[in-house]
Copies of this chain bind each other. A is one copy, B any other.
Amino acid sequence: MSLVVAMVLAITSSFAQTAPAEIKEDFKPSSLNQPGQEYPQVNSQGYVRFRIVAPSADSVKVSLGKGGTRLSKSPDGSWTGTTAAAVDEGFHYHNINIDGGKFNDPGTKNYYGSVRWESGIEIPAHDQDFYALTNVPHGNVQQVLFPSPSTGTSRRAFVYTPPGYDKKTSKRYPVLYLQHGWGEDETAWSNQGHANLIMDNLIAENKVEPFIIVMTYGMTNEMRFGAGLRNFKIDTFQTVLVDELIPYIDANFRTVAKPSDRAMAGLSMGGMETHTITLNKPDVFAYYGLLSGGVYTPDELKDKTKPKLVFMSCGSKERPEGVKNAATALQGAGYNAVSYVSENTAHEFQTWRRSLYEMAPMLFKK
């Protein structure tokens, strides 16, 4: 557990290790800005410029950038500033501290992370086409409310169905259960991760066996506010997932309702959940994915139903030797294990977008 706690709480470096360079004045509004909002802006080097209107404030600081980015007051009453270094490609959370209070950036859309709706910014990536909204057939993402007797509520899940699902009414599909990280929720993989667009694009290129993705909320109450991962108990979520959600999905969608056509994967804390649940319930899933979410050892897997695939990944700014060594050890013990390292990214969504893109074609191979 301590490895995982350390991993999740680790301060990761999201900033390129480039020498100080001249900042190019080609800033453009971030693609995650609210309609019509000019700020924050990103330049071609990955620097971010902020502008916040608060004429009578005494101090305005943005959480993004090493140690944060302090803004300066302009004569027009706005506060502006630019990160001291380029920011890694991909998605990043941020918030604004105004006179000691934490608020969101009024310029951006909001994304659930850190147990709050945070502001988000997108640094255009050299490989962004794989999660771009392009003119290919699109699958749908639907909200379902499924009964959960164990928690006494109707719980929410989002279900991605691939293009053509509604027309090919005799076809049945495998299912990937895909979990978010600590402080996030069931919206993260679609909103921050673009899981649906990644699948649409992979399917359009015929690189993947079309499958359904199910995303639900994985944080039980006991760990949400302050209790911390150290006190995490898997029981509540495992019951919701295995005894309630899977039967609901199998009853209401055209799935192949067999372990051989069922995968579980998760990022960060969702990887920890995947690790624990697949070991507790080795006959429910056949494909395992840990995305910046730890590793399996041969010892953990022996004497259990052998998974068809063990996929382990992280960013190059995390601990890449961890997933590489784990894959080597598993391969040595006869497992189909794969490691993937996302170059120049840390414990952030660009790592997990790329990980899904790499993992998806390996799932449900006949």
Take A54-B98, A55-B100, A104-B106 as given contacts and tell me if A252 and B117 are in contact as well, using a CB distance cutoff of 8 Å: no
Assuming the contacts A53-B101, A104-B103, A138-B154, asked whether A115 and B36 have C-beta atoms less than 8 A apart, the reply is yes
Question: Are B98 and A98 in contact, with the CB atoms below 8 A?
Answer: yes
* Interface flag for A283 (CB, 8 Å): no
User: Is B117 in contact with A109, judged by CB distance below 8 angstroms?
Assistant: yes
| B54:A56 contact, CB within 8 angstroms | no
Q: Does A35 contact B (CB under 8 A)?
A: yes
Known: A140-B142, A141-B143. A99 touches B56 (CB 8 A): yes
Does A1 sit at the interface, judged by CB under 8 A? no
In this assembly, does A27 line the interface, its C-beta being within 8 Å of a C-beta of chain B? no
Q: What is the oligomeric copy number? A: 2
- In the complex, what's the smallest C-beta–C-beta distance from A292 to chain B, in angstroms? 23
Q: How far is the CB of A241 from chain B (nearest CB, A)?
A: 19
Q: How far is the CA of A353 from the CA of B57 in the complex (A)?
A: 39
**Contact call A101/B166, Cβ cutoff below 8 A:** no
A35/B99 in contact, CB under 8 A: no
Is A147 an interface residue, CB under 8 A from the partner? yes
Distance between Cα atoms of A77 and B115 in the complex (Å) = 23
CA distance A292 to B169 in the complex (A): 41
> Is A14 in the interface zone, CB < 8 Å from B?
no
Give chain B residues whose Cβ lies under 8 Å from the Cβ of A56: 58-59, 99-100
Interface size on A, residues (CB 8 A): 45
Q: Give residues of chain A (24-60) contacting chain B, Cβ–Cβ below 8 Å.
A: 34-36, 52-59
Within 8 A of B (CB), among A217-262: 224-225, 252-253
Q: Mark A300-330, 1 if CB is under 8 A from B, else 0.
A: 0000000000000000000000000000000
Residue A102 lies at the interface, judged by CB distance under 8 Å to chain B: yes
A133 within 8 A of B: yes
A18 within 8 A of B: no
Q: Is A167 an interface residue (CB 8 A)?
A: yes
A144 located at the interface, meaning its Cβ lies under 8 Å from any Cβ of chain B in the complex: yes
A166–B253 touching, CB < 8 Å = yes
Residue in B100, B104, B138 whose CB lies within 8 Å of A57: B100
Interfacial chain B residues near A224, Cβ < 8 Å: 35-36
Bound Cα distance from A330 to B52, whole angstroms:
52
Q: Is A116 an interface residue (CB 8 A)?
A: yes
CB of A278 within 8 Å of the partner chain: no
List A87-114 residues whose CB lies under 8 Å from chain B. 96, 98-104, 106, 109-110
Contact A252 B57 (CB under 8 A): no
If A35-B115, A135-B154, A142-B140 touch, does A103 touch B98 (CB 8 Å cutoff)?
yes
Residues of B within 8 A of A253 (CB): 166
Q: Does A145 contact B (CB under 8 A)?
A: yes
If A35-B224, A133-B154, A167-B252 are given as contacts, then 8 extra A-B residue pairs at C-beta distance below 8 Å, sorted by A number, are A35-B115, A55-B100, A58-B58, A77-B100, A98-B101, A99-B99, A142-B142, A166-B253
- Using a CB–CB distance below 8 Å, which chain A residues touch chain B? 34-36, 52-59, 77, 96, 98-104, 106, 109-110, 115-117, 133, 135, 138, 140-145, 147, 154, 159, 166-167, 169, 224-225, 252-253
What would be 21 A-B contacts, judged by CB atoms less than 8 Å apart? A36-B224, A36-B225, A55-B101, A56-B99, A57-B57, A57-B98, A77-B100, A98-B98, A98-B103, A102-B106, A109-B117, A110-B110, A135-B147, A138-B145, A140-B143, A140-B144, A141-B142, A141-B143, A142-B142, A166-B253, A169-B169
